[in-house]
Amino acid sequence: MSQTNINWINDYEEGLERVRDEKKPLFLDFFKDG
Amino acid sequence: MGAVTYPDMQVAALLNENFVPVQVNFEKVSKLVNEFQAIWTPNLNVLDRHQNRVYWVEGWLPPSEFTAMLGVARGQYFLRGKKYKEAEPLFKAVFEQHPRSQFAPEALYYRGVSRYLNSHEVEELKEDWIMLQRFYPQSAWSLRSNIL
């Protein structure tokens, strides 16, 4: 997990709900540990 | 991405302001990995509210290129949603603010597309594509515009 100032959501479905509410695109990053 | 690009302040601001940033562990979301045919990381996707993938990049990008990529991705979000007027200035901003970026030729290509789809004036398409061929002659996007 990156330590940044980005307000990451770690749940895809929650992200989709936010997208529908906020009318913004969803940025989806698949990351690997290490 | 987590070591260099995401800690960048401008990257963070752009993601927070213009996107809903979602980060999931590749090893723990097999259903999503299969849906998106994700075989490699970094794997960066931009989706609309209907889960259509409007832009996609595999591989690492430094902050400056990542910033330019976000501009193109946002332009594609509006372009694919047929909001051509909103898309055009986003593509324009990419090649004006990041003229040396790998994403600049793509932005110029799609700025022409956005303008044409909005106005149906072929001269607007030509203007951008001629500029593309002039300033980025070695680009794959220049090749794709070579029908003019």
Q: How many domains does chain B have?
A: 1
Q: Which amino acid appears at position B88 of this protein?
A: E
Per residue of chain A (34 residues), what is the pLDDT tens digit?
445 699 999 999 999 999 999 989 999 999 888 6
Contacts of residue B147, defined as CB under 8 A and 6 or more positions apart, other chains included, come to none
Q: Is B2 contained in some domain?
A: no
Q: What is the CATH number of the domain that holds B44?
A: 1.25.40
Residue B3 domain flag? no
Shortest Cα–Cα distance, B22 to chain A (Å): 5
Q: Is B109 domain-assigned?
A: yes
CA distances from B52 to A27, B58, B77, B106, B107 (A): 12, 17, 10, 20, 20
Structure tokens that stand for B61 in this block = 């990008």
What predicted TM-score, i.e. pTM, was given to this entire model? 0.93
Complex ipTM > 0.90 = yes
Instruction: Judge whether B57 is closer than 8 Å to chain A, CB to CB.
Output: no
pLDDT tens-digit map of B4-24? 999 999 999 999 999 999 999
Query: What's the domain range around B119?
Result: 9-144
Phi and psi torsions of A28, nearest 5°: -110, 120
One-letter amino acid of B31: K
Q: Which residue in B has a C-alpha nearest to residue A34's C-alpha?
A: B2
Query: Does residue B1 belong to any structural domain of this protein?
Result: no
User: Is the residue at B111 inside a domain?
Assistant: yes
Do the domain assignments include residue B54? yes
**Within-domain flag for B38:** yes
For residue B64, the distance in angstroms to the closest alpha carbon of chain A comes to: 16
